[in-house]
Amino acid sequence: MTLKFYTDTHIPKQVAIQLRAKGIEVVRCEDVDMAEADDEAHLEYAANNGFVLITKDEGFRARHFRWISEEKPHKGIFYCGERQTAAIGEIVSACTTYYEIIESGAGEVTEIENEFFDICQETIMEKIINHIEIRDGCAYIRGTNKKAEMVARMYVGTDYSIEEVMEQYSLSAANVHAAITYYYDNREELDARHEAIVNEIRENAMTLEKFRAKIAAQQKDTE
């Protein structure tokens, strides 16, 4: 399999032209009458047709995490932030690099699927390395005592927004996104450990029956 791209309205036409000149398949939203579509429709179209979405819209970051939490698969999102507004060449270069990695067999399309890449800045692993540190076997937001898993769980599977998590923990957007990325990259292990802790708490919790038994035992000891 190979990478093919879909660009939303934020991506200049020249990006598609230059990628096509390199033999890379690209569909612009304007090509398929999607110029007026909303963000959800863009991602739906890309996912359903096997395209990696290229965008400059920051809103797709939160949308990506929502889709993952809802177990809705997509083919990958390549985000190029505002810093790269005029850098068409850099966007083309980054997309070409990922394409060539897949074509050469050094990487797999599945490594792109269901991931959000800031293609002109930090990679997924760089994001984790730059904002997460491991101490005593536990992941913390770098330079703080805030556990990455706790930060992520406030967002994952809840109605809280990224901004609300940022405010609650006094963290930057990059910190919160790194925590959520770390969680999804280690989800199976973290969820298993979390479930074990919850079960242990439940087993050791004081119930009414246990409380009555404890009182009865204390009364028996005083007789």
- pLDDT at position 219, please? 73
pTM over the 0.95 mark:
no
- pLDDT at position 84, please? 44
The SS3 call for residue 135 is strand
- Comparing C-alpha atoms, which of 117, 112, 113, 197 is closest to residue 153? 197
- Kindly list the domain boundaries of the chain, sorted by start residue: 5-121, 126-185
The SS3 call for residue 123 is coil
- pLDDT at position 82, please? 57
- pLDDT at position 26, please? 98
Q: How many residues does the chain have?
A: 223
Distance (Å, rounded) from C-alpha 141 to C-alpha 170? 11
Instruction: Count Cβ atoms within 10 A of the Cβ of residue 122 and give its class: 0-12 exposed, 13-18 middle, 19 or more buried.
Output: middle
- Comparing C-alpha atoms, which of 80, 38, 64, 62 is closest to residue 164? 62
- pLDDT at position 124, please? 54
User: Which parts of the chain register pLDDT below 70?
Assistant: 82-86, 106, 120-129, 205-208, 210-211, 214, 221-223
- pLDDT at position 211, please? 67
CB distance 39 to 60 below 8 Å: yes
Distance (Å, rounded) from C-alpha 84 to C-alpha 76? 19
Phi, psi of 94 (to 5 degrees): -65, -45
